[in-house]
Structure 1
Amino acid sequence: MSQIKRLDDDLRNKRGKQQPARSGVSREDGQMRVRAASQREGAKASDIPPTVNTGERIAKDADVNQVPTALSQNNNPHVPNQELIEAFQSPTNSPIQLCMRDGKVVMQMVRIPAKSECCAIDTLRVTMHEKTIFNKGFRALISDDDVARAFSESIENIFGFGITKKYDKGRDFFAHAWELGDNYGHFAMGGMRQRDSILIAINGQGCLAARQGWELRLYQFLTSSECVSPRITRVDLAHDDFDGTQLSVHDFDRAWDEGGFDRFGNRPEPQNYGSWKNNDPMGKGLTFYAGTKSSSQLFRGYQKGKQLGSPDSPWIRAEVQFSNHDKIIPFEILIDPSSYFVAAYPILQQYSPNTTGKRTETVRKMADAGIEHFTKYTKLGYGKFIRIARQIYGDTEFLNLVQSDEEEWPARLRMPGYAFSSTPLHRQPPEFSHVPFILTASDYGYPDGDSSFNSQPTNH
């Protein structure tokens, strides 16, 4: 029996031992009844444990031993899913599968059909080999700045913004790092342990600022033949409930007790942040975590509006963070995120009929919360002074005295948008910092200083 098959069987037996029998009847010794996993090659779908967290058994589960043996040695063996590209959302159930990655057995992610687009990508990290840019025809790249300049064009074609400036130091264990757009993320490369890979990290502001349709363009780029060794290392999926009418942070906390966050018979570690005991009297917001930051899957449910500074906001965000520690994050998550979102935990399937907030609505809500934040703390800090100063100077003169001399929006109110970001590197004039090449006498075989190369002819 191969290593993958043996680990697959061990996983199924482990899942069976950790879950009680479907009938709810315990054994005579008081222990919970164990569900035996099938060991037969031709097992029926009804003979094996369910492999999706809805408790369903599907016909594809009959081939439990046909486990893919992983990523091949090709640069980018992934074949684009044309059905998902055309339909943008046509999910199908998939069984739990094991694959080989870098000599280790990892798990493929599970998908469940979603009735609507109930989440959006909020954070994304992608790595690939530096050879990717050479495949596009750039053959004379010498320095790291040259490579960053060449990648900037591809990044702009996908997101609408490119690499704008270089940081003083590296990030994420890479030797060099550059800013993307208007602080929308970063591009990093270099380092002894990075094996000539590069990192493209897009934060939440960057996902909002990116040109519409960036998910599909990125998916097509990663699955193309020119992209070498691409890999999604992290992706955060978020559902925004602006009215707070679906699930609250207290609902998440209660759902954990009822098994709403159980995965394969395991219950992730819960954590509560904020003033839970007295129900957050200051309106700073409550957060519920299921899992740890070091795990490959983490849930965050929090009061987003209050986090942004609006103490009376009902805005609730449910967020799942996927990392590739012990699993493969498929590229299809870019164009069909909701299927993976609702499959992450049983409680999230309640979001399937509910669509998430539009990107433009999210930006507007963030701006409203920022205005409310500044108004509140301006009144608390300077309200008494403002009241007297208006009587002394009058409204117009007083505002002219206290307003900033610079026409710049505060960071909290700045609207994310690719059109407003700085000029990317590949559109900036190149900087020539090298020392001009100078020929000396020694280059011609003469000693420097006193030589016939430097001697002047004499007139006789």
Structure 2
Amino acid sequence: MTRAKKTDLVLDGNEVKLRLTAERTKTKQPVHVDWVRFTCNLRNAPTPTIEDLFPLHDGARWSDDVPHVERAARLTELLRDMPDADFAASVQAKALAEQACEALGPEFSVFPEIRKGHDFYRFRWSIVRNEVECGWVGYLSSGDSPRQHAQARTIHCNLYGTACTFASHGFNQRLAAIVERTDATITRVDLALDFFDGFAGGMDRVQADYKAGLMDHHGRTPSCNQVGDWCNGRARSFYFGSKEAGKQTNVYEKGHQLFGPKDDSPWLRVELRYGNKLRVLSSDMLRRPADFFAGASDWHAAMLREAGSQATPEPVRTTQRLAAETICAEVKRNVQWLMDTAAPSIALCFKHLGNTQFIEEILFNKKAPGRLQRFNENEIAGAFDRAFHRVLAPGRGRSGMQLV
């Protein structure tokens, strides 16, 4: 394997910093979504394209661009040779990979070869930037156990930090829409707060904060782990929290990671890593990362303020605390879909059918959407008004609904 030169690492590190700085300036958002993983059922996966459902030998009809034609031809051959039992999963996974690429931006594409899968998936479509993998979509299971039989009915998308760093502005909003459209389960989200010039006290201050109990949450002291050369102050990381509980924070010297441990870069990063063990990760985490970063603990909220930003703290409850909030989350998800997806069609129906006829037809179907059928009318009614106003806020008034 060819080792990267020091100059290559420095150039890459500078580009990473440039991208993150540009994103912060463009979005006015200090917290960066740095890793995303989500899983959807095959029945909810994107519909494949006609070209994938009925692959032709000649890919030239797709484009006159020679590299694109060659790539299309390679994809066509792979799909034509795939067994019938695997075909549907393959083309649906490819469709999801293409949607992920579209969300990330024009620099990303699906690599035109099926590769061996990861994490017990049998195959994967690689998502690449400059022909280097920065994510993947896995499908079909690698074994025959009952658990893997269930996995075979799912498709999994994993987008690395590199993909999120070099994605186009607003990628997190577009990914949130994909998650909601496919009714996917988010299994991991990393939220990063960068201090390019460091912060007062540096890594020694992080250790002191922990010992002073500032990182305690709900009266509990999280476990911690120190990695790196703490004696000489190089390439240090301070972990607190637990992967098993689905919430862990890593505070580390990002400049040393990118430029080498002997570099004098002051760049520090606070990286909050959420997993779906004992927690349900909402798509709102992609839309409003700063709120969920601040909601992790008082210490996280204080660090966000130190970065010069304010947020409305929103914690990610463990499953034991979710019962009272589940109905609100489900109703909010339903209203979000209504406003983002169905609103234009509803507006046309009102315009051309008339209010009375349209409302009569709608109310005739009294069955609640699938995810809300487990709740009674009173529970739904109590949550709907709050959910509606929450979706419209912040800064999205009725004039911004774009119904027609």
Q: For residues 183-202 of structure 1, what are the structure 2 equivalents within 5 Å?
A: 183-191=133-141, 192-202=149-159
In the other structure, the counterpart of 2:313 is none
- State the AA in 2 paired with 1:169: K
Give TM-score, length-normalised by structure 1. Answer: 0.47
Distance 1:247 1:193, change over 3 A: farther
Q: 2:259 aligned with 1:302, yes or no? A: no
Where in structure 1 are there 5+ consecutive unaligned residues? 1-115, 358-460
Q: Tell me how far 1:312 sits from its aligned partner.
A: 1.0
In the other structure, the counterpart of 1:279 is 232
Match of 1:221 among 159, 170, 178: 178
Q: For residues 17-416 of structure 1, what are the structure 2 equivalents within 5 Å?
A: 117-133=29-45, 140=53, 142=84, 143=87, 144-160=89-105, 161-166=108-113, 168-182=115-129, 183-191=133-141, 192-224=149-181, 227=182, 229-246=183-200, 248-276=202-230, 278-280=231-233, 283=234, 285-310=235-260, 311-355=263-307
Distance 1:257 1:304, change over 3 A: same
- How far apart, CA to CA, are the structure 2 residues paired with 1:306 and 1:178? 32
Distance 1:270 1:203, change over 3 A: same
Conservation of the 8 A alpha-carbon contact between 2:137 and 2:158? yes
Distance 1:349 1:211, change over 3 A: same
- State the AA in 2 paired with 1:170: G
In the other structure, the counterpart of 1:11 is none
* Structure in which a larger fraction of residues adopt helix: 2
* Structure in which a larger fraction of residues adopt strand: 2
Describe the superposition over 1:79-101 as per-residue Cα deviations: whole angstroms up to 9, x where unpaired. Answer: xxxxxxxxxxxxxxxxxxxxxxx
Conservation of the 8 A alpha-carbon contact between 1:166 and 1:177? no
Conservation of the 8 A alpha-carbon contact between 2:115 and 2:126? no
Describe the superposition over 1:259-297 as per-residue Cα deviations: whole angstroms up to 9, x where unpaired. Answer: 222122211111111222x233xx4x1110102333310
Q: Tell me how far 1:219 sits from its aligned partner.
A: 1.7
Residue 232 of structure 1 aligns to a residue in which SS?
Answer: strand
- How far apart, CA to CA, are the structure 2 residues paired with 1:352 and 1:244? 13
- How far apart, CA to CA, are the structure 1 residues paired with 2:46 and 2:53? 9
Distance 1:247 1:213, change over 3 A: farther
- How far apart, CA to CA, are the structure 1 residues paired with 2:162 and 2:46? 30
In the other structure, the counterpart of 1:412 is none
CA RMSD of aligned residues (A): 2.5
Q: Which has the larger radius of gyration?
A: 1
In the other structure, the counterpart of 1:59 is none
Q: Tell me how far 1:155 sits from its aligned partner.
A: 2.1
Give TM-score, length-normalised by structure 2. Answer: 0.54
Conservation of the 8 A alpha-carbon contact between 2:123 and 2:138? yes
- How far apart, CA to CA, are the structure 2 residues paired with 1:319 and 1:166? 33
Conservation of the 8 A alpha-carbon contact between 1:240 and 1:315? yes
- How far apart, CA to CA, are the structure 2 residues paired with 1:202 and 1:215? 11
- How far apart, CA to CA, are the structure 2 residues paired with 1:297 and 1:149? 31
Aligned residues: 235
